[in-house]
DNA sequence: TAAAAACCTTGTAGTCACTATATGGTCAAG
DNA sequence: CTTGACCATATAGTGACTACAAGGTTTTTA
């Protein structure tokens, strides 16, 4: 099958398939007389595997490692477990921070109702407050340094 | 103050500050005789504002728009509201899909306990199942196309 | 006073996983 | 014979940095 068909079957853009080949994730297939790539079932299987891992948001480096383990099925599967554990921890961490972020944005959004000039907008005031080093609805205090007299010519930092 | 001090106060890497200047997010400061950048309070304020928006995971393009609104405080703040709303919706969408992803990975992880060869690993079997077009613990069926006879020489696609 | 460390400058390339564009060859249908 | 869909390559762009190279300056230390 040609690259377009493979792309349709797997749901992977042909450009992306070529990209996978370029970075060594998918083995280069044989070519026809006209130079077109000719894929077989092995390629389809491998690409579907890659696509599934990507759907699970695994980085391509991890996918590469899993493919290697697939090619060497006698190795200990602890490597697989560790990889999935690490990835899961990563995803969970991201989830936590995203939840906190959503809460912050919701609070921020609640600062403004109706229409008025930007100068009176609660959201803007809130965002600017952070630049002043005050406590904001979002973060405790993002700028802790004393903003006293760091404007002197040079080098007397205290 | 010099770029290092500004970076320390705001918690932004000097390389990043120069990057912000390059892309027009932070105005270019005056230079000293030796060519060093000399920042004033206005720069600090602006950079802290940027940093705060970035902490809220806003894209720099959005930050740019907010900065423009800051510079034109008489504009209607509806633009601010819309921007925050859009961003919040984006974050909430990402949150949803990340939650689904975490669930999927947890299920996948549960497929393997103890150590054995990769060939017997439940995780690997699960991942490979997707490549076979079967229903997996993660997705309904990621490959729906009939995998019958698409291996014929060429172009008779049915 | 000299050397070393820390800082600054510019420019360029690398990251990740694509995505888009340019330019041209191949093939089937009308 | 032309239109359109498909394929090929190479290159550059995305976002938001990060790292490096190769040099100049300032501060600290011995």
Q: Which tens digit of pLDDT belongs to each residue from B24-49?
A: 999 999 999 999 999 999 999 999 99
Query: What is the rounded CA–CA span in Å between residue B140 and residue B131?
Result: 12
DSSP state of A37: E
Q: Which tens digit of pLDDT belongs to each residue from A23-79?
A: 999 999 999 999 999 999 999 999 999 998 898 888 999 999 889 888 887 677 888
Give the residue from A121, A129, A156 with the most B CB atoms within 10 Å of its CB, the best one to mutate.
A121
Tokens, residue B137: 């613990």
The reported pLDDT for the residue numbered B39 is 97
Query: What is the rounded CA–CA span in Å between residue A129 and residue B49?
Result: 8
Q: Is A81 on the interface with B (CB under 8 A)?
A: yes
Average pLDDT of span A120-126: 79
Query: What is the rounded CA–CA span in Å between residue A15 and residue A29?
Result: 15
Query: What is the rounded CA–CA span in Å between residue B90 and residue B101?
Result: 17
Nearest residue to C17 (CA, C1')? A60
Tokens, residue B127: 């991942």
Lowest mean pLDDT among A59-68, B122-131, B134-143: B134-143
Query: What is the rounded CA–CA span in Å between residue B50 and residue B60?
Result: 8
Share of chain A above pLDDT 70, in %: 80
Share of chain A above pLDDT 90, in %: 34
Looking at the predicted structure, is the pLDDT value of residue B17 above 90? yes
DSSP state of B119: G
Select from B58, B21, B8 the least CA-distant residue to A143. B8
Q: Is B9 on the interface with A (CB under 8 A)?
A: yes
Query: What is the rounded CA–CA span in Å between residue A97 and residue A100?
Result: 5
Closest nucleotide over all strands to B17 (CA to C1'): D17
- Nearest chain A CA: its distance from B9 CA (Å): 6
User: In A, which residues are within 8 Å of B85 by CB distance?
Assistant: 109
- Nearest chain A CA: its distance from B111 CA (Å): 10
Number of H helices, E strands in chain A: 6, 2
- Nearest chain A CA: its distance from B97 CA (Å): 10
Query: What is the rounded CA–CA span in Å between residue A14 and residue A4?
Result: 6
Give the residue from B111, B131, B138, B157 with the most A CB atoms within 10 Å of its CB, the best one to mutate.
B131
DSSP assignments along A49-110, one per residue: HHHHHHHTT--HHHHHHHHHHHHSTTSBTHHHHHHHHHHHHHHHHHHHHHHHHHHHHHHHHT
Which nucleotides of strand D are protein-proximal, with an atom < 7 A from a CB?
6-9, 15-20, 25-27
> Is residue A108 within 8 Å of A126, Cβ to Cβ?
yes
Closest chain A residue to B143, measured at CA = A10
Select from B53, B61, B1, B116 the least CA-distant residue to A148. B1
CA distances from B62 to A67, A137, B56 (A): 39, 20, 11
> Is residue A45 within 8 Å of A6, Cβ to Cβ?
no
The reported pLDDT for the residue numbered B40 is 95
Strand partners, A117: B76
- Nearest residue, CB atoms, A91 vs list B55, B105, B142: B105
Q: How confident is the model at residue B133 (pLDDT cuts 50, 70, 90)?
A: low
pTM of the full predicted structure?
A: 0.76
Asked whether strand D has any atom less than 7 Å from the CB of A152, the reply is no
The reported pLDDT for the residue numbered A113 is 75
> How many contacts does A have with B, using Cβ atoms within 8 A?
228
In Å, what is the separation between the CA of A53 and the C1' of C16? Answer: 16
Q: How confident is the model at residue B113 (pLDDT cuts 50, 70, 90)?
A: confident
Looking at the predicted structure, is the pLDDT value of residue A85 above 80? yes
Strand partners, B31: B37
Mode of pairing for the β-strands spanning B37-38 and B30-31: antiparallel
Q: Which residue has the higher pLDDT, B15 or A107?
A: B15
Average pLDDT of span A11-18: 95
């Amino acid at each position: 099958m040609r690259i377009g068909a493979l792309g349709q079957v797997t749901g992977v853009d042909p450009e992306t398939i070529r990209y996978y080949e370029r970075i060594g994730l998918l083995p280069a297939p044989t070519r026809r007389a006209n130079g077109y790539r000719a894929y077989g079932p092995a390629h389809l299987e491998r690409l579907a595997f890659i696509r599934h891992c990507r759907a699970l948001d695994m980085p391509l480096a991890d996918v590469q490692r899993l493919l290697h383990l697939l090619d060497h099925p006698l190795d200990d599967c602890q490597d697989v477990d560790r990889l999935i554990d690490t990835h899961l921890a990563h995803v969970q961490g991201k989830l936590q921070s995203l939840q906190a972020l959503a809460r912050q944005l919701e609070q921020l959004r609640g600062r403004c109702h109706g229409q008025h000039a930007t100068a009176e907008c609660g959201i803007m005031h809130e965002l600017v407050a952070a630049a002043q080093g005050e406590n904001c609805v979002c973060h405790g205090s993002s700028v802790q340094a004393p903003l006293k007299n760091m404007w002197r010519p040079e080098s007397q930092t205290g």
